[in-house]
Amino acid sequence: MKSTFFSEEFVKNLINSTENKTLDFKLKVTSTSKIARSLAAMANTEGGILVIGINDQKKVIGIDLNEERYMIDQANEKYCTPKVSISMHDFQWKDEESKKTNSEKWILLVEVKKSEGPTIYCEDKSGIKRKYIRVEDQNRLVS
């Protein structure tokens, strides 16, 4: 997958956008099975970007990059068949708070490529492979 450079302006515009078919915000990955559904749903629709490290009020909280990258990789490896084509980008966020405290806040941008080949299936907890798509800002199970 071709790597994308995310400028500060582009990331600010993303954060100011509302969640939709191609954009989803997460504070952090708490469940590999749930994030796998997001990866598969985006790949089965138009592709998109997951932004990890942002709360519901659209405030950048920051994340442990290694932990979040690991969780995304595990989700793709364990639950998605075939694997989703993704590219992960670390982005250092600088706001007034981080400048005052001289602290670093990192967010992770996960670029999900649209699947041009077979449908991506996501295995549920009972081992059944299911198809998900994005409808507006939701992952929907296709029966």
Extract the runs of DSSP E, i.e. beta strands, from the chain: 23-26, 48-52, 80-81, 86-93, 105-112, 121-123, 129-135, 138-142
**Rounded distance between C-alpha atoms, residue 132 and residue 49, angstroms:** 16
Q: What pLDDT is stored for residue 4 in this prediction? A: 59
**Which band of pLDDT confidence, cut at 50, 70 and 90, is reported for residue 129?**
very high
Determine the Cα angle at 116 with ends 10 and 123, to 5°: 95
Structure tokens given for 41 = 């749903």
Structural domains of the chain ordered from first start: 8-138 (3.30.950)
Mean pLDDT over 77-102 rounds to 91
Mean pLDDT over 88-114 rounds to 90
**Is pLDDT of 37 > 60?**
yes
